[in-house]
Amino acid sequence: MKTLILTRHAKSDWSNLHQKDFDRELNERGLRDAPMMGKRLLNRNIQLDLLVSSTAKRAAQTAKLIAKELKYASGEVQWVDSLYHAPPAIIQEAIFGISNKINTLMIVCHNPGITDFVNKLTNHLIEDMPTCGMCALQFPVEKWEDLPTAKAQLLFYDFPKNSL
């Protein structure tokens, strides 16, 4: 079995309109939401084998804050430049490059690619992945490259404003 947790970066700061999009950091809400979502994963007894993130500042901050809550060493996060505003095909390509020894994988990246990819795997589960939203799917496969042909089982779909 392979478990994939697709996560959109937390809320970003738009106070500096001249700042490059790639360099945009998390705002106060994002800095609060990412650790909260990490705690929710911890409460679900999720243990990551690998955390992969876009290198954009807001995605990297989100990944590090979630990792901290899960006691996942931030030095073990795999940074993938191509996940910055990646379409589903690039997200899928990044997953296909993961060792099949990894069973629980989290990807942190951006909209609209993350929403489109979730919907590709689940037959349109969500309209728009909220910031710091997470969709966890389980697949009855042994190889990551078999995901597209496998039937995804939804483990959970959660986001900061979701009242559990």
The pLDDT value given to residue 164: 59
Span 103-137, pLDDT tens digits: 999 999 999 999 999 999 998 889 999 999 999 99
Would residue 163 count as lying in a domain?
A: no
Would residue 162 count as lying in a domain?
A: no
Count: domains in the chain: 1
Beta strands in 9-143 (DSSP E): 50-54, 78-80, 104-109, 134-139
The CATH number of residue 80's host domain is 3.40.50.1240
The pLDDT value given to residue 103: 98
Would residue 121 count as lying in a domain?
A: yes
What does pLDDT average to over the chain?
95
pLDDT above 70 coverage of the chain, percent: 99
Span 4-42, pLDDT tens digits: 999 999 999 998 889 999 999 999 999 999 999 999 999
Q: How far is CA 81 from CA 53, 68, 163, in A?
A: 8, 22, 33
The pLDDT value given to residue 78: 97
Give the span between the Cα atoms of 22 and 55, in whole angstroms: 8
Question: Greater confidence, 149 or 56?
Answer: 56
Beta strands in 2-90 (DSSP E): 2-8, 50-54, 78-80
Show the domain range for 78. 2-10+23-157
Would residue 130 count as lying in a domain?
A: yes
> What average pLDDT does this structure show over 44-62?
97
Would residue 42 count as lying in a domain?
A: yes
Span 66-83, pLDDT tens digits: 999 999 998 999 999 999
The pLDDT value given to residue 123: 83
Would residue 17 count as lying in a domain?
A: no
> What average pLDDT does this structure show over 36-54?
97
SS3 136: strand
Would residue 36 count as lying in a domain?
A: yes
